[in-house]
Structure 1
Amino acid sequence: MQKKLVPNVIKECRCTTMTADKTVRDAAVLMTGQNIGALVVVDGDAIVGIVTERDMMCKVVGASVDPDTAKIADIMTPNPDTITGDALSGQALEMMVEKGYRHLPIVDESQKPIGMVSVRDLYQAVQEGLAEDLQACETYVQGGDGYGVGA
């Protein structure tokens, strides 16, 4: 069963943001402290980019760039795709698979960032959905709760 991203997949909307002029080290410290793999780069309320742990690994550590001098603007992916909270989990997953994303910012109707969905979040939602479907099938086959039982 497809679930809406908010509130069914992402139960608590929170979006960690940072401005593009901060250093990569600032972002790494924030991401480590909050145990997250990506953050949204903003200018005011507008999304201007996304930076992920993979960006840090490939564009900073792997490239021998100094994280204390490199700016978020130097490594972020500019103008990332976004999705709204009322989108279905399948839509987010399709977009992420098609474009190779692991994180996708969630925005409200005014395009303000309100959350982030990850592949891990979607995997968990799919797993829960499959468990629910399996339980419904077992109930149907066994005739419990009046499901599939003639009167």
Structure 2
Amino acid sequence: MRVLQNVLLVIGAPALGVATCGLGLASVLAATAFRTRPGQDPSLDWGATGAFLCCGLGGGAFGAVAGLVLAVRWMTHHRSGPWGAATWVGVVLGVAVVAAVRLSGVLGGHVTGAVLRWGPGLACLLAAGGTLGGLLGGAIDARRGHREARRRRRRHTA
């Protein structure tokens, strides 16, 4: 089980880094600095396309490297047990939400919608969604563990 958890961490952390850094930076720049101005011919906007791709790829590469380094550092410096039920439910729900968004076509006209229609982009966002869901589920598991530890302490002191 520990090997599976490590494999999921090594796959998910860089995917989350790519999704947050690459898509985030590219989307913000597309919506602000590199958008087509009113009255401008969109076919003449090649410089913005190049800058958009450079920002997306550069941010994605940085996010992937940062996620991989942090995942390996986490595995080598922390000894943790098996993930709790809330973590696994979070992973499944995160993947399910990304799959539902992909199948619904809600983001069809946006940058993220174009990435969801591309196979590797979909795989990356599925892994990122699972990782984010697992992080949220792990936070719930940790919160539940702290609450139970406090209850045990109260019983022993009384």
What's the TM-score, normalizing by structure 2? 0.26
Name the structure where helix makes up a greater proportion of residues.
Answer: 2
What's the TM-score, normalizing by structure 1? 0.27
